[in-house]
Amino acid sequence: MKELEKTKRISIATTLFILVVLIGVLSFKRPKNLYSFNTVETLEKIGAENLFVTLEDINNPDFVLVDVRKNYNFDRGHLENAININSAAILDDENIDIFKELQNTNKTVVLYGKDPEQAIAPYMILYQLGYTNLKVLPVENSYNQNKLITKTVEVEKYANDINGFIAESIKKSAVVKKPKVEVKPQPKKVITIEKKKAAPTEGGC
Amino acid sequence: MVKKKVAKFLALRYKILALIFIILAGGLVLLPKYKKHEGIKPEELLNNVINPERYISTDALAHKIISKDPSILLVDVRSEEDYNNYTISNALNIPFSKLLNEENEIYLNQDQYDLVFFSNDNFYADQAWILCNRLGYKNIKVLEGGINQWFLTILNPPVPTENMAAIDFEQYNFRKAASMHFGVAYPEQTKEVKEPEVKAVPKKVVTIEKKKEVPTEGGC
């Protein structure tokens, strides 16, 4: 009799335990956006990839242009066939759906903003979430009388020879110094000669 | 009949419970997927990234370097080659590709220094910042515009035109002084020294002329 009670208790406890686990599993809500890569993987992958496309390539039918600037800038002027997804809103449900669909249809998303730097934030975040069909268009957009002017820029280019500039500036200021040094000895020489001349006249008298 | 069935079931009950536990344990296999989900949530990361607070201007950085602010630590995220060619004074080199190597973690994950990332633009520096921010590293800033902007504003500042505000002249004077601190020389620096020396030369000539007069006097 005692043993029967013991086994009963064990089975009740295990059933309860399984129930708790099941409730936990069922009520667990998957986070909406999950990273697909950890940071080390991301670093390796973006280092190996060419993340830029050129302005000439954007007419490729597989490319979908995404303007990450604010809405009013987009309305003022944007590249042809671009869609507007502000970088602050890229994780909104409807926008994530757009990115998912583009990934499923093998399209490449080309991000651009006011300058290439503006496109990094959405690029990095979407990339880490697993959307690897991303490119950045390295352009600078500005307006001239409400007309959009798009200019290609080279990203991370060492634009100025700084060592050369510093050396040049030192040289420039040093050039002025040099004649001073040359000027000094000349009058001295003349002076000594004059002295000699004076001496013989003394002896003459 | 029913009793028999129940008895049969009850005989198997431990096996059934054990099976359920094994299935649940199988669920653990799926867990490593979440390892990838290290760091802060994507939504939080996005909020941090679109906030321009991480940028430090070239003027502010120059001021900090010149006043020898001990809390600042510059990190050049460009390649070693670029670093050896030119870098801002006393910067540390952590190439972007080696950013997350273990030996660099002690520099990145600390709260004693304000790190300032920079590259030629702020493109790589921003990328590096985003990865570090995801890992929760604090106290990291990005030099706005990078070395190119550093050159254009600090090392080679544009001379303000006369119709600009006094603030612009003050800023120019600061930047010019800063650029001298970083090794740029200006012609007027040496000009000022040159003038008194030139004056000294005619003086000598004058004294010598007096000497000339003396011997002719003695001759007579």
Residue pLDDT, tens place only, A45-88? 888 878 888 888 888 888 888 999 888 888 888 888 888 998 88
| Contact across the interface for A88 and B50, Cβ inside 8 Å | yes
CA distances (Å), origin A104, targets A107, A133, B33, B42: 8, 10, 21, 21
What pLDDT score was predicted for residue B216? 56
What's the average model confidence in pLDDT over A133-140?
A: 88
Q: What is the mean pLDDT of residues A6-27?
A: 84
pLDDT at A1 over 50: yes
Using the structure block, give the residue that is written with the tokens 């029967």: A4
Residue B203 confidence class, pLDDT cut points 50, 70, 90 = low
Smallest CA–CA distance, residue B174 to chain A, in Å, is 18
Q: Does B89 touch chain A (CB under 8 A)?
A: no
Mean pLDDT, rounded, for A24-30: 79
What amino acid is encoded at A95 in this protein?
N
Give the model's confidence band at B113: pLDDT under 50 very low, under 70 low, under 90 confident, else very high.
confident
DSSP, res B162: T
Cβ neighbours of residue B204 closer than 8 Å, sequence gap 6 or more: A187, A188, A191
Q: Does B188 score more than 70 pLDDT?
A: yes
Q: Distance of CA A58 to CAs A80, A115, A143, B181, Å?
A: 10, 17, 20, 46
Would you say A39 and A125 are in contact if contact means Cβ atoms under 8 Å apart? Answer: no
Among chain A residues, the shortest Cα distance to B121 is held by: A156
pLDDT top residue among B183 and B195: B183
**What CATH number labels A39-152?**
3.40.250.10
Q: What is the pLDDT of residue B195?
A: 45
DSSP single-letter state for residue B157: P
Residues of B in contact with A160 (CB under 8 A): 148, 151-152, 156
User: What is the torsion angle, in degrees rounded to the nearest 10, for the CA atoms of residue B177, residue B182, residue B185 and residue B191?
Assistant: 40
Q: Is the pLDDT of residue A205 over 70?
A: no
Counted residue by residue, chain A has a size of 205
The pLDDT score that the predictor gives to residue A118 is 87
Contacts of A177 in chain B (CB under 8 A): 190, 194
Q: How far is B66 from chain A (nearest CA, A)?
A: 18
- Comparing alpha-carbon positions, the chain A residue that sits nearest to B179 is A166
Residue B198's pLDDT is what?
44
**pLDDT on residue B118:** 92
Q: Is a pLDDT exceeding 70 seen at residue B151? A: yes
**Any A CB within 8 A of B84 CB:** no
Listed in sequence order, the residues at least 6 apart from A106 whose beta carbon sits closer than 8 Å to its beta carbon are: A62, A133
The conformational region for residue A110 under phi > 0 = left, psi -120 to 50 = alpha, else beta, is: beta
Give the burial class of B159: count Cβ atoms within 10 A of its Cβ; 0-12 exposed, 13-18 middle, 19 or more buried.
exposed
The model's pLDDT over B117-128, given as tens digits with 9 standing for 90+, comes to 999 988 889 999
Tell me: pLDDT of B197 over 50.
no
Question: Is the per-residue pLDDT at B191 higher than 70?
Answer: no
- Kindly report which listed range (A97-111, A119-133, B1-15) carries the lowest average pLDDT score: B1-15
Is pLDDT of B76 > 70?
yes
* Cβ-Cβ contacts under 8 Å for A42 (sequence gap 6 or more): A124, A127, A128, B131
Question: What average pLDDT is seen over chain A?
Answer: 80
* Cβ-count burial B15-39 (b if 16+ within 10 Å, e if not): eebeebeeeeeeeeeeeeeeebeeb
> How high is the pLDDT of residue A144?
82
Q: How far is CA A82 from the centre of its chain?
A: 21
Residue A115 has pLDDT above 80, yes or no: yes
pLDDT value for B56:
92
What burial class does residue A138 get, using C-beta atoms within 10 Å of its C-beta: 0-12 exposed, 13-18 middle, 19+ buried? buried
Torsion angles phi and psi, residue A141, rounded to 5: -110, 130
The CATH class that applies to domain B43-155 reads: alpha beta
Q: How many CB pairs under 8 A join A and B?
A: 173
User: By CA distance, what is A22's nearest residue in B?
Assistant: B24
Angstrom distance (rounded) from CA A103 to CA A110: 12
Higher-confidence residue of A178 and B162: namely B162
Instruction: List, for residues A143-194, the tens digit of each pLDDT value.
Output: 887 788 888 888 878 878 888 888 888 888 876 554 544 545 555 555 555 5
Task: Choose between A22 and A204: higher pLDDT.
Answer: A22
Report A:146-165 residues touching B (Cβ under 8 A).
155-160, 162-163, 165
Mean pLDDT, rounded, for B32-57 = 82
Please, which pLDDT band fits residue B6 given cuts at 50, 70 and 90?
Answer: confident
Query: Which residue has tokens 């991303």?
Result: A134
Q: Name the residue with tokens 């300032």.
A: B116
Q: Is B122 on the interface with A (CB under 8 A)?
A: yes
